[in-house]
Amino acid sequence: MNLVQRSIDIIKAGQSPSGGYVASPNFGEYAYSWLRDGSFIAYSMLVKGETDSVAAFLTWTAKAVQSQQKKIEALKEAAAAGPLQEIAPEFQLPTRFSLEGEEVKDDWPNFQIDGYGAWLWLLAEWDSRGFAVQDLWRESAALTTDYLAICWPHSCYDCWEEGGDSVHLSTLACVAGGLKAIASIAAVPEGLLETIEARIREGVVDGGYFAKSFGRNDVDSALLWLSVPFGVIPPQDAAMEATAEKIRQELLEEGGVKRYLADTYYGGGLWVLLTGYLAWFEMARGNREEALRLKQWMAEQATVDGSLPEQVTRHVNDATYVEEWIERWGPIATPLLWSHALYLVVDELVH
């Protein structure tokens, strides 16, 4: 089985005619398109030369953002009137949309701003390869930039859709990374990036590593985003090295990584996509051998039909939660398009 071709096929099959990528085709709760998953999925299609797929996603997202324009304009007005204590629900944008790009009215923990940062980064990656940027995308990038410039210091749910009452370093990585990358396409307020970067530095705790969120001391594998892909903190930075070392020591088992130690979602197992970011990080520090080992582990998690799951339940943090989640939401999402995306990205990097 050629897992690269299979991954491209799975991603293509999971893209709706309007451009949204389903998070997983066989998992009811994931029958939507997330900005976070989608931006990384589109990036994997970009590095593999599947530009039509990327352009369709950029249009899908740009339209989804435009559908939120009123909220963003109202937020800007509120922020202009005086400092905001919090981002009120009426100003919060969704983290996921239907495959047709419509807002889904349900009680999902929607206020997650990381995906909007990741989307800006994706658009900048497209632009930096010399492809044309459509006016609609540019307008949506400007709206997104305005939104993030106001929301970034406030509490929101993280990339795992948890912890809505704090500020998360992986979220700030996406926001800073997106704003840094988009500067040639949209106007980013002067000094904003430096302010966010200084705030990120305050996330270093005793022990010299970046913690998952302000007010906590544990690490999360998504902290790797500070370096890859977002380039906010160099991989050789002492705090970043300490963070990666702690991730390896506490979260790496048999070649795959967990999200964080207290994770109990499906028991809290080993995530294929996060193992991809660790491989990416290793490549960024010149450790190709380790990246290849991690890639091999990712490939080994494929089912016989070449589908990569979200996670595998070996070495789980708490086995009692495996069955509980299976009863609640069914078997682990397989294939997960984001897992396939990271496999493609790593494949391209180690070539």
Q: Which residues bind ligand BGC (CB under 6 A)?
A: 23, 30, 34, 36-37, 159-161, 338
**Residue 214 CB, nearest distance to ligand BGC (Å)?**
20
**Residue 189 CB, nearest distance to ligand BGC (Å)?**
28
Which residue lies nearer to ligand BGC by CB, 185 or 338? Answer: 338
Burial class of residue 13 in the structure, from the number of CB atoms within 10 Å of its CB (0-12 exposed, 13-18 middle, 19+ buried)? exposed
**Residue 95 CB, nearest distance to ligand BGC (Å)?**
7
Which residue lies nearer to ligand BGC by CB, 27 or 281? Answer: 27
DSSP SS3 for 105: coil
Pairing of strands 33-34, 311-312: unpaired
| 50 given a catalytic annotation | no
Measured between alpha carbons, how far is 104 from 82 in angstroms, rounded to an integer? 30
**Residue 313 CB, nearest distance to ligand BGC (Å)?**
14
Residue whose C-beta lies closest to ligand BGC: 23
Strands (E), the chain: 33-34, 96-97, 252-253, 256-257, 270-271, 311-312
Q: 100, 102, 161, 250: which one is catalytic?
A: 161
Q: Which residues pair with 256 in a beta bridge?
A: 253
Residue whose entry in the numeric block shows the structure tokens 């206020």: 111
Peptide bond between residue 229 and the one before it cis (omega within 30 degrees of 0) = yes
Which residue lies nearer to ligand BGC by CB, 152 or 266? Answer: 266
Which residue lies nearer to ligand BGC by CB, 23 or 252? Answer: 23
Q: 158, 263, 282, 347: which one is catalytic?
A: 158
| 310 given a catalytic annotation | yes
What proportions of the chain, in percent to the nearest 5, are helix, strand and coil? 55, 5, 40
- Residues designated catalytic: 158, 161, 310
